[in-house]
A and B are shown apart, each in its own frame.
Chain A
Amino acid sequence: MKRLSPFMIGFLVVAAIAVVFLGMRVESAILIALFFSTLRQTTPLLFTALGGMFSERSGVTNIALEGMILFGAAAAAITVERLEAPMLAADPLSRAAWIPWAGVVAGVLMGGLVATVYAIAVIRYKAEQIVTGTAINLLAAGAPPVLMQALYNTTTNSKEVENRLPVIGVAGESLSPLVFLAFLLVPLCWWVMFKTPWGLRLRAVGEQPEAADTMGVNVYRLRYTAVILSGLLAGLAGAYLSIGFLNQFVKNMSAGQGFIALAALIFGKWHPLGVLGATLLFGFFRALAIQLGGGEVMPSVVVEALPYVLTILVLAGFIGRSRPPAAIGKPYEK
């Protein structure tokens, strides 16, 4: 069970804070709101971290997750806006159920496209992975504003869209279907990673690419697949942010969630269940920061910083040791 300790820590912390809240006789309505808010905040982190897990387990560091989220978010919002514009011009009240899903597909594909560029640079051209990742993040900070200036004459946000993703009502609150998808992906990823031959090869490539190659595994192809997969999922997270959580793209809207996801990945020790625990914990912190606002318990800026501090402590080994895949960050020379 040692491998899952962050998972346990996560729930212990959540439980402890819940007890504190209850001790302060917080109304149950607030607790329920906090619970659902946690689920919503966890979703993009979970998508991104699960994607990042494939990339990093195959031996490719992925600092670029943040940028992939942003590209996905921008693509989703802009696609929806472009698709609905002629329809709204004809009838301002018309809605089409398929349009937001087309936006999701666009976001996912965009994430995959950016990941492909990243993969080609780091796998084919053996570019330094951190530098390349930073370049992708810089690009994600610059390219959407340039496009939005041309489309909407402003660099800060895209036009608000009417066709948002639908929501499913649960216990008086509403959740996007993507929230359910995110949590369903966890057992799926676990199964793929630990119960399929592909998953075994993936882990082998991340630990010992030479050995895997000797056994006939195509290291390059596997890494390409893994990195592109991480981009697809990060793009999905972006689409959730821009047309699920909000109804437009806002400049730098991911606001470091790609890096929090990366932190959750380390915190969760590159394991799907650990990642679930870590993203729930960090999602809870984010939800808490929003709920607390200017509250009595703790300033929200302090709560916001907690995921980062916790990650530093985990990396240093103060709270359980986190060991990355052995071949991470090293280009494979055949």
Chain B
Amino acid sequence: MVRYLLLAVNFVVVLLMALAPWAVLKREFGGVGVLLTPFDLVNPQNLQLPAMNTGWAAPFFWVWVLLVLVASAALFLPDARTRARLLYGVGAVGLLLFVAEAVVFYQTVNAINGPALEAGTSPRRLPLRRFSLSLGAYMGVFFSLGMLILARLQLAGGKAFLVRYRGVVVPLVSLLLASLIGALVVGFIRPGLGAEGKVLPLLDAIATKLDLVTYTFQLLFSPVISVTGWFQSLLLATPLIFTGLAVAFGFRSGLFNIGAPGQLTVGAIAAMLVGVYLPGPGWVTLPLSIAAAAAGGALWGAIPGWLKARFGAHEVINTIMLNYVAASLFLFLIAANEYKFFGTTVRLPFKAEGFEARSNEVQEGSRIPLMLDLLVRDGHLSWAIPLALVLGLVAYYTQRRMDLGRRLLISGGAVLAGYVVGGFLPGPSVELTSALTSSRFNGAFLLAVLALLFYNFYLFRTPGGYELRAVGLAPKAAEYGGVNLRSKTVLAMAISGALAGLAATHYVLGGGIDEYRLKQSLPTSVGFDGIAVALMGQNTPIGISLSALLFGVLLTGGLDLNQQLAVSRELVTVLQALIVLFIAAGGFLPRYFIDPLQAAQVETEARAELEAREKALVGRA
């Protein structure tokens, strides 16, 4: 049964390879391009194209057909080991084939662009621009990776292998499914690139649609190829790391903190209060402002925690309600200077002069510096902070055998050493483009890294964290083991809230909303996005940082998508929502991927199978 399903998949792969563009030779700003399919050159808007080699795709296509045929035949071989070997071979050859395609493609492009560049044409006016490989070629990579996984599945313990890595498999499958649906949505709402208002032959129409979908995802991921893109992505990832950690911390303790938006809001209010009104030198007020953000969030998280511990009121409903209460409080403080209660006038000092609802500005000393100012000194890149970060992390993760105190001491020493040494290292000179200098990427990112470390350290390396995780896994067992459930509930919600509150440092103290103050544009919905980050990251620190980065990249790429293809950036929200939906449903994978007990059973069966096989081998010898 499964074999025939795989045959169908193989058929679809070949079909897509035949129909999809393999490469886009050039592209205009709005997305219209010249597409190269294996047997055709699709040029819907008749763009000018210099004479060039366009025949390379067809031979590659036939090799792929051969590979797919081999893989299909391999499925029906009786011996598992031969099957696996063949499929491994197909996968490896496929990956090499893709590399060859890329080389050939970039050579043909260079053959045109190279001479033009030497002749002094500016890079913006080259004959071929925005060229790239496209879906047809990418299909090869997907197919090869799929074959490698399939090969592993043929061998003993293959299923257990996948189940063991279910923490990665479930999010990835969900991401894939969400992308597929996102692609369908885009294909449905927009005409193919260059096909607008035209009646194209069927094959061309299909090619332009597939190009539209491919270009959409290329744009979404485009920030990873430029420094500015990375800056912007990390900027957007910073609050997501905080809120993702907040939600994940709740999950680990068996609580669903859906109140990150409210905790962020109260954190922002607290940070504003201290940052604006506390007098003193910056080295005193800045840490206090940051602490205030955490305290505000902690307070707003502790309330539902206490309500649950004391009265058994469900935290989900209470956190939702508190989100709205916080939003009202926020507006109350910054919308007007005086209010009337039954005729009595109450005056508030928080709203700044002017029509717009916003607070006064945070004083200079309490602002978090921009990353650019931290990284670049006198036009040269300073290695101090990158080196300190890298050395600190390396020290922390390599000294696993040490006891905790020494480990921390060594890591701290490494950070200090990295900072000092990095400060003296000569850095390359940096050209500050306007895109870089206008980015609000700020030191809150470093706080986010610290928060990640705190999460890892507290939950997995301290008795308190151990107790919290025990409560999360089995509250009754934990209570029997002597854990005070009530105080742990309040504590967990408070820490979770503090993490969410810290996200406000990015916005209020770091100027993430373009100004150093409270404004109505404070994007509290990142609190909900944190749920997607936590789920996608499976509540592990590394997973959370990766998924926050992923969403940061997508959100940044969403801007390009909006400009070039007139597809709303909210597509990223749709993807996020679908990812959450699919992960919640276990990626529609079999139950043993979700249920730890069933997963353990799969492992046990695999081990028994391996042992039986070894015994049989020994017996034969």
**How many interface residues does A have (CB within 8 Å)?**
50
Contact A312 B321 (CB under 8 A): yes
Pair A139/B567 contact, Cβ less than 8 Å: no
Q: Is A305 an interface residue (CB 8 A)?
A: yes
Give bound CA distance, A117 to B331, whole Å: 35
Known contacts A127-B586, A131-B256; 12 additional CB pairs below 8 A are A63-B320, A121-B584, A131-B583, A132-B584, A137-B528, A138-B528, A139-B581, A146-B568, A294-B336, A296-B340, A305-B328, A305-B329
Known A130-B258, A135-B577, A262-B317: A142·B570 in contact at CB below 8 Å: yes
Assess whether A147 is in contact with B311, with CB atoms less than 8 Å apart: no
CB neighbours (8 Å) of B324 from chain A are: 256, 259, 304-305, 308
Chain B residues with Cβ below 8 Å from A149 are 562, 566-568, 570
Interface residues of B in 351-377 (CB under 8 A from A): none
Q: Which residues of A contact B328 (CB under 8 A)?
A: 301-302, 304-305, 308
Interchain CB contact under 8 A, B314 and A315: yes
Known: A63-B316, A141-B570, A143-B574. A136 touches B581 (CB 8 A): yes
B 545-583 contacts with A by CB, 8 A: 562, 566-568, 570-574, 576-578, 580-581, 583
B585 within 8 A of A: yes
Q: How far is the CB of A256 from chain B (nearest CB, A)?
A: 6
Say yes or no: A138-B576 contact (C-beta < 8 A), given A127-B586, A146-B568: yes
Q: Cβ of A147 and Cβ of B307 under 8 Å apart?
A: no
**What distance in Å separates the Cβ of A152 from its nearest Cβ neighbour in chain B?**
11
Q: Give 1 or 0 for each of A26-65: 1 = CB within 8 Å of chain B CB.
A: 0000000000000000000000000000000000010100
Question: Is the CB of A309 closer than 8 A to any CB of chain B?
Answer: yes
Task: Please name all residues of chain B whose beta carbon is closer than 8 Å to the beta carbon of A294 when the two chains form the complex.
Answer: 336
What's the nearest-Cβ distance from chain A to residue B587, in Å? 10
Q: If A134-B258, A301-B331, A312-B322 touch, does A128 touch B584 (CB 8 Å cutoff)?
A: yes
Residues of B within 8 A of A259 (CB): 320-321, 324
A-B contact pairs, 21 of them (CB 8 A): A61-B316, A121-B584, A125-B585, A130-B258, A132-B585, A135-B577, A138-B528, A139-B573, A139-B581, A141-B525, A141-B570, A142-B574, A145-B570, A149-B568, A149-B570, A262-B320, A295-B340, A297-B340, A298-B341, A304-B328, A309-B325
When the two chains form their complex, are residues B340 and A136 in contact, meaning their CB atoms are under 8 A apart?
no
B470 within 8 A of A: no
Q: Which residue of B lies closest to A67 (CB)?
A: B577
Q: Which residues of B (285-327) have their CB < 8 Å from a CB of A? A: 307, 310-311, 313-314, 316-318, 320-322, 324-325
What 1/0 mask marks residues of chain A from 244 to 264 whose CB sits below 8 Å from any chain B CB? 000000000000100100110
* In the assembled complex, B339 has its CB within 8 A of some CB on chain A: yes
A138 CB contacts on chain B under 8 angstroms: 528-529, 531-532, 573, 576-577, 580
A317 at the B interface (CB under 8 A): yes
Residues of A within 8 A of B580 (CB): 131-132, 134-135, 138
Contact B189 A146 (CB under 8 A): yes
Q: Does A177 make an interface contact (CB < 8 A)?
A: no
Chain B positions within 8 Å of A128 at CB level: 584
Residues of A within 8 A of B70 (CB): none
Please give, as numbers and ranges, the residues of chain A lying within 8 Å of B325 by CB-CB distance.
Answer: 305, 308-309, 312
CB distance from A133 to the nearest CB of B (A): 9
Q: How far is the CA of A142 from the CA of B343 in the complex (A)?
A: 43
* Chain B nearest CB, measured from A111 CB (Å): 17
Please, which residues of chain B bring their CB within 8 A of the CB of A131?
256, 531, 535, 580, 583-584
B317 near A127: Cβ-Cβ < 8 Å = no
Measured between beta carbons, the chain B residues less than 8 angstroms from A92 are none
Interface positions, chain B 507-559, Cβ under 8 Å from A, are 525, 528-529, 531-532, 535
Interface contact B573-A142, CB-CB below 8 Å: yes
What CA separation (Å) do A297 and B345 show in the bound complex?
A: 10
**In the bound complex, CA of A61 to CA of B256 (Å):** 14
Cβ-defined contact, A139 with B340, below 8 A: no
A21–B528 Cα distance when bound, in Å, is: 40
- Residue A311, interface by CB 8 Å: yes
Within 8 A of B (CB), among A144-190: 145-150, 153, 155
Q: Is B217 an interface residue (CB 8 A)?
A: no
Closest residue on chain B to residue A303 by CB atoms: B328
Q: Is B577 a contact partner of A139 (Cβ separation < 8 A)?
A: yes
Across the interface, do B586 and A125 meet the contact criterion of CB distance under 8 Å? Answer: yes
How many residues on chain B are close to A (CB under 8 Å)?
A: 54
* CB–CB A263/B317 < 8 A: yes
Inter-chain contact B258/A298, CB cutoff 8 Å: no
A-B contact count (CB 8 A): 161
With a cutoff of 8 Å between Cβ atoms, the chain B residues found around residue A147 in the complex are 189
Give the residue of A142, A262, A299, A324 whose beta carbon is less than 8 angstroms from that of B339: A299
| Complex partner residue of A142 from B310, B311, B577, CB under 8 angstroms | B577
Shortest B547–chain A CB gap in Å is 15
Identity of the chain B residue whose Cβ is nearest the Cβ of A128 in the assembled complex = B584
Is the C-beta of B332 less than 8 angstroms from some C-beta in chain A?
yes
Interface check A316, CB cutoff 8 A? yes
Establish whether residues B332 and A301, one from each chain, have CB atoms under 8 Å apart when the complex forms: yes
How far, in Å, is B379 (CB) from chain A's closest CB? 40
- B190: CB under 8 A from chain A? yes
Residue pair A315, B578 in contact (C-beta under 8 Å): no
Q: How far does the alpha carbon of A127 sit from the alpha carbon of B589 in the complex, in Å?
A: 12
Closest to B588 in A: A125
Distance in angstroms between the alpha carbons of A55 and B570 in the assembled complex: 29
Partner of B568, one of A134, A135, A145, A262: A145
Asked if A266 is at the interface of the complex by the 8 Å CB criterion, the answer is yes
Chain B neighbourhood of A121, CB < 8 A? 581, 584-585
Mask, A239-283, CB within 8 Å of B = 1, is 000000000000000001001001100100000000000000000
Cα of A192 to Cα of B62 in the assembled complex, Å: 65
Known: A121-B581, A134-B528, A299-B332. A139 touches B313 (CB 8 A): no
Contact partner, A150, options B190, B322, B329, Cβ 8 Å: B190
Closest chain A residue, CB of each to CB of B310: A316
Nearest-Cβ distance from residue B255 to partner chain A, whole angstroms:
11
Q: Chain B residues with Cβ under 8 A from A155's Cβ?
A: 568, 570
Residues of B within 8 A of A132 (CB): 580-581, 584-585
Q: Are A130 and B316 in contact (CB under 8 A)?
A: yes
Expressed in whole angstroms, the minimum distance between the Cβ of A295 and any Cβ of chain B is 7
Closest A-chain residue to B580, C-beta based? A135
Instruction: Please tell me which one of the listed residues B307, B567, B581 contacts residue A312 in the complex, with CB atoms under 8 A apart.
Output: B307
Known: A138-B528, A296-B343, A302-B328. A312 touches B318 (CB 8 A): yes
In whole angstroms, what is the CA distance A148 to B341 when docked? 42
Q: Given A146-B567, A147-B189, A309-B325, A141–B332 Cβ distance below 8 Å?
A: no
